[in-house]
Structure 1
Amino acid sequence: MRAQTILRSLPFAVMATVALLDLLAGPAVVFVPLLTLGPAFASMSGGVRYTTAVGVIAVAVCLPLGAHGGLGRQQTLIVLGTIGGVTAAGMLASRLRVRRERELASVRQVAEVAQRVLLRPVPRRAGDLRIALSYTSAVADAQIGGDLYEVVTTPGGVRLLVGDVQGKGLDAVETAAWVLGAFREAAYDEAGLSGVGERLETSLGRHLGGEKFVTAVLAEVHDKEISLLNYGHPAPLLLYGDGGTYLAEPQEVAPPLGLADLGTRVPEPYRIAFGEGDQILFYTDGVIEARDGRGRFYPLEERTHLLAAADPQVALDALRADLLAHVGGPLPDDAAMLLLRRQRT
């Protein structure tokens, strides 16, 4: 808002400065042609009417200054013509800019609706679980990208998905929509994680083409345990209540979803202990592949102490802030993190 106010007052400040300099310099130096800066700057922040008004004021200021500075009739007409030309160009530019801003606002509204449909807010509590989420898009002003997540509470327990679509842009968002839609349906229908994974693979087989794929981790929470099914995704990080950590690597390497035609073995779920006071962090490669100015990757396992806050969301927000500080600027890739904490109270 403050920047907008400064831009709106800039044309008048420039024209006042030009008038003052011209009066102080006298006939020796002519600053009147610089009045064209007024309508030029006006087109940056105002609409057609505003730019026109500034141009009219520039003409009104030009006439007495030209007479005071001893400009001839021909020179005055040239300056007036220049101001008129710049004003006309500024009016066209401001009209195009306003139209573009309206189109951008409309697109952002559509993107916000798409976000609410695709990446719905996850529940903060589910049984004895407390859940926190962090999502950072690599695209400026965007809220959705190629990373995806979902948490659903089914009759059989809590199931979740964290994944990363190959590529970027609208194609990645479209693929993410396919994966999330298939997961939300299969999570309720299938008896086990293997069945959910097969449904996802079948759905993507109909949708994806060429060598596109999706890395993903499926999870299902049990009493004192959690089942994981990993399709080529970074392994979740388990943080035990006693302070120990464990990188939950899969027992066998499996290809990402969409690459079933490679003929490799279908992955099997594996269980790990997950009891009271334990946490598990799911994340995408945008987190661990984020580099600082020296090219060093983000040391996620060395930053787990940041997840000790009593509120899981506060803890995850602290980890995200540390990630951004490590990079020192916008992230080069989307980064999603989902934190589960087993806490009955």
Structure 2
Amino acid sequence: MPPPELTPPVPPDGPDAPVPSAGDGRQSLLRVRGHSVSWLPPLALLVALVAFDLNTSGELRVISWIVLVPGIAAALCGVWTTALFALLSVLAYVAMDTTWPQQYQTGLPDFILVAAGGVLAVAVSWVRLRNERRALHMRDVAETTRRTVLRPLPPYWGGLDHAAVYLAADSVAKVGGDFYDIQPSPYGTRVLIGDVQGKGLGAVDGAAVLLSSFRESGYYESDLTTVARRLDARMLRHGFYCAQVGRDDSDRFATGVLLGFPPRTAPHGPVVLVNFGHQPPLLVGPSGVRELPPGDGLPLGLGDLSEGPAPLQRIWPAAGDTLLLVTDGVTEARDAQGEFFPLVAAVAVALAEDPGVAEPERLVAFVRDATLRHGGNHLADDTTVFAVRPAPADATDGYPFFGPPPG
């Protein structure tokens, strides 16, 4: 079994890192063997101030600095732990101050300072944890949205060996206007990749409506041209809806590539392709790198400007060929001198050095890394790299068809 889809590298606190509950302050990075030790810095400061005050002269009193202890706890610990340190600070202040002769005591003013600082620290801790819960909730919403638009694909899904990587230009939302999917059907496996024009939630909305249409029409329609028409009509309907509700993104369109792989009952048939104004796919295999013709189809959502359906292309990949599909985040990545990333040349050089690069996983990983290097690890646009080819004959996903059989 191949490993699961590639995912972009993320830091330890990235979108897929497990995050404990923020309710008790255990979300702190101060951990030993899985247990929070966020209480250790304020406790150490408390002990240090008490010890220092005990070993100073009456002219140099530092016990009033104990007000810092609940403040540090507010930044690291939960509400109840902060309240405990606030109480300990008040008790420690009273105990230490009364041990000195009257003339050296700091007295009531500093007691009020320490008590007020403790109350304020508890309030700050409560506000911080509330904001952290809200941030965690929003991150969960963004992650759910991302997985809804770009659902994880099982190994050998639809009889295809595949790999994909998606890098969002919005490092907070982690989702944008790029989309891709594989849909098995009784008529063969359909593949879609595309890029909704623009950025923001409007682009995500456009990607979602196109994917929902593809997952239905790609399954039930026997003719790929009909699937293409349904996608274009869906984008037109979405634009009309946006105009009716007063949104300013009613004129959005999407480029894309729609592929139809033959069913396993006819494995030697051609791969049918419809290009909606998108970057042409590359065929990468033992014979080298070949860029497919661009096609004459208009972007999705502009079909009403065309006199007919988007033209079909038929290709016959050789054994071992992989179809590489990318969005313009790859082809329009610029280096410090403003030069675009030379995708075809880069893949050709890598393939000449190591023919194993043609495998979907390695090919996607190479393009991802090369694109990031070329752009200095800066993404100006959402970036998707997707590679597919027929799976080995003995590989199966066991997909059960629920709709009517072909015929």
TM interval, short-chain normalised: 0.7 to 0.9
> Which ranges of structure 1 fall in alignment gaps of 5 or more residues?
none
1:72–1:271 distance in 2 versus 1, CA, 3 Å: farther
Match of 1:77 in 2: 108
- 3-state DSSP class of the match of 1:207? helix
Q: Cα offset for 1:87?
A: 2.3
State which of 321, 337, 343 in structure 1 corresponds to 2:385. 337
> Which ranges of structure 2 fall in alignment gaps of 5 or more residues?
1-26, 32-36, 244-249, 263-267, 394-407
Give the Cα separation in 2 of the matches to 1:291 and 1:166. 19
1:267–1:310 distance in 2 versus 1, CA, 3 Å: closer
Q: Which 10-residue stretch deviates more, 310-319 or 222-231?
A: 310-319
State which of 266, 285, 297 in structure 2 corresponds to 1:240. 285
Give the Cα separation in 2 of the matches to 1:68 and 1:247. 85
Instruction: Please tell me whether the aligned partners of residues 211 and 259 of structure 1 are also in contact (alpha carbons under 8 angstroms).
Output: no
Instruction: Please tell me whether the aligned partners of residues 59 and 104 of structure 2 are also in contact (alpha carbons under 8 angstroms).
Output: no
Pairing 1:189-208 to 2, within 5 Å after superposition: 189-208=220-239
Instruction: Please tell me whether the aligned partners of residues 197 and 254 of structure 2 are also in contact (alpha carbons under 8 angstroms).
Output: yes
1:310–1:261 distance in 2 versus 1, CA, 3 Å: closer
Instruction: Please tell me whether the aligned partners of residues 329 and 384 of structure 2 are also in contact (alpha carbons under 8 angstroms).
Output: yes
Match of 1:275 in 2: 318
**1:49 counterpart = 2:91:** no
Instruction: Please tell me whether the aligned partners of residues 284 and 358 of structure 2 are also in contact (alpha carbons under 8 angstroms).
Output: no
- 3-state DSSP class of the match of 2:170? coil
1:25–1:267 distance in 2 versus 1, CA, 3 Å: farther
Q: Which amino acid aligns with 1:82?
A: L
Match of 2:252 in 1: 212
Q: Cα offset for 1:168?
A: 3.3
Give the Cα separation in 2 of the matches to 1:134 and 1:169. 20
**1:308 counterpart = 2:362:** no
Give the Cα separation in 2 of the matches to 1:43 and 1:122. 43
TM-score, normalised with respect to structure 2? 0.72
1:188–1:33 distance in 2 versus 1, CA, 3 Å: same
TM-score, normalised with respect to structure 1? 0.83
Q: Cα offset for 1:32?
A: 3.3
Give the Cα separation in 2 of the matches to 1:22 and 1:121. 60
1:212–1:128 distance in 2 versus 1, CA, 3 Å: closer
Instruction: Please tell me whether the aligned partners of residues 276 and 299 of structure 2 are also in contact (alpha carbons under 8 angstroms).
Output: yes
Give the Cα separation in 2 of the matches to 1:140 and 1:342. 33
Q: Deviations over 1:247-278 (max 9, x none)?
A: 224133x4321233555775312233312111
Q: Could you say which structure has the higher helix fraction?
A: 1
Q: Which amino acid aligns with 2:93?
A: C
Pairing 1:83-122 to 2, within 5 Å after superposition: 83-122=114-153
Aligned residues: 343
**1:257 counterpart = 2:300:** yes
State which of 165, 169, 177 in structure 2 corresponds to 1:134. 165
Q: Deviations over 1:217-252 (max 9, x none)?
A: 11122436433222222222221322x212224133
Q: Deviations over 1:283-316 (max 9, x none)?
A: 1122333345665544433442278358633542
Q: Deviations over 1:117-175 (max 9, x none)?
A: 43222243257631112122333365533211111122221211101123334333222
Give the Cα separation in 2 of the matches to 1:229 and 1:182. 16
Give the Cα separation in 2 of the matches to 1:247 and 1:204. 27
Q: Which 10-residue stretch deviates more, 283-292 or 230-239?
A: 283-292
Indicate the percent of aligned positions where both proteins have the same amino acid: 33
Q: Cα offset for 1:317?
A: 3.3
State which of 165, 169, 190 in structure 1 corresponds to 2:196. 165
State which of 30, 33, 46 in structure 2 corresponds to 1:4. 30
Give the Cα separation in 2 of the matches to 1:10 and 1:179. 52
Q: Which 10-residue stretch deviates more, 303-312 or 53-62?
A: 303-312
Q: Deviations over 1:11-41 (max 9, x none)?
A: 2233344445545554444433432222112
1:178–1:69 distance in 2 versus 1, CA, 3 Å: farther
**1:287 counterpart = 2:287:** no
Q: Cα offset for 1:178?
A: 0.7
- Coordinate RMSD, CA, aligned: 3.3
1:338–1:36 distance in 2 versus 1, CA, 3 Å: same
